[in-house]
Structure 1
Amino acid sequence: MKYYLLLLLLTTSLFAFSQENTIELTDDELNETSENASFDVIENVPIYKGCDENMGNQALKECFDEKLKKLIAKNFNTNLGGALNIPDGTIVKISVFFKISTNGEIIDIKARAPYPELEAEAIRVTNLIPKLKPGYQLGKPVVVPYYVPIKFQVSNIETSENQKPPIHRGCDEIFNYQLLADCATDKVKDYLIVSIDYELADKLFPLDKTTQFKVSFNINKKGKADNITVQAHKKEMAVEVINVLKRMPKFKEPGYKNGKPIDTKMSFLVTIHL
Structure 2
Amino acid sequence: MKNLLFLFSILFSLSIFSQENTNSEDLKDTQDTSNFEGSVDSDVTSFSIIENVPIYKGCSKNLDNKAQKECLNKKLNKHIGANFNTKVAAKIDLPDETVVKINVKFIISKTGEIVAIEAGTPFPELEAEAIRVIKLIPKMERPGYFKDEPVSVPYFIPIKFKIANSGFNSSKDMQYPTYRGCEKSVSFEDLKNCTIGKIMDYLKVSINYELADKLFPLDKSTQFEVSFVINEKGKAEDISAKAHKREMAAEAIRVLKRMPKMKAPGSINGKPTKVPVKFLMTIYF
Normalised by the size of structure 2, how large is the TM-score? 0.49
Secondary structure of the 2:67 match is: helix
Deviation of residue 107 (structure 1)?
0.2
- Alpha carbon RMSD of aligned pairs, Å? 1.9
Provide the residue aligned with 2:21 in structure 1.
none
**66, 86, 92: which one pairs with 2:100?**
92
Q: Flag the structure with larger Rg.
A: 2
Tell me, which stretches of 5 or more residues in structure 1 are unaligned?
19-23, 159-274
Structure 2 counterpart of 1:136, from 145, 157, 177: 145
Q: CA contact under 8 A between 2:95 and 2:166: conserved in structure 1? A: no
Give the aligned length: 148
Question: Could you list the per-position Cα deviations for residues 178-204 of structure 1 after superposition, in whole angstroms to 9, with x for gaps in the alignment?
Answer: xxxxxxxxxxxxxxxxxxxxxxxxxxx
Residue deviations 1:150-179 (CA, integer Å, cap 9, x gap): 002111189xxxxxxxxxxxxxxxxxxxxx
Are positions 1:25 and 2:37 aligned together? Answer: yes
Answer whether contact 1:135 1:142 (CA < 8 A) is retained.
yes
Counterpart in 1 of 2:122?
114
Verify: 1:4 aligned to 2:13, yes or no. no
For residues 1-274 of structure 1, the aligned pairs below 5 Å read 1-11=1-11, 12-15=30-33, 17-18=34-35, 25-26=37-38, 29=40, 33=42, 35-132=43-140, 133-156=142-165
**Paired residue secondary structure (2:145):** strand
d(CA) in 1 for partners of 2:153 and 2:31? 9
- CA deviations on 1:3-22 (whole Å, 9 max, x unpaired) are 2232323243434x53xxxx
For residue 32 of structure 2, what is the amino acid of its counterpart? L
Structure 1: how far apart are the matches of 2:125 and 2:143?
A: 30
Q: Could you tell me whether the CA contact under 8 Å between 1:93 and 1:152 is conserved in 2?
A: yes
Please state how far the C-alpha of 1:66 moved relative to its aligned partner. Answer: 0.4
SS of the residue aligned with 2:4? Answer: coil
Return the alpha-carbon distance in structure 2 between the equivalents of residues 122 and 13 of structure 1.
Answer: 17
Distance 2:45 2:133 in 1: 24
Name the aligned partner's letter for residue 37 of structure 2: L
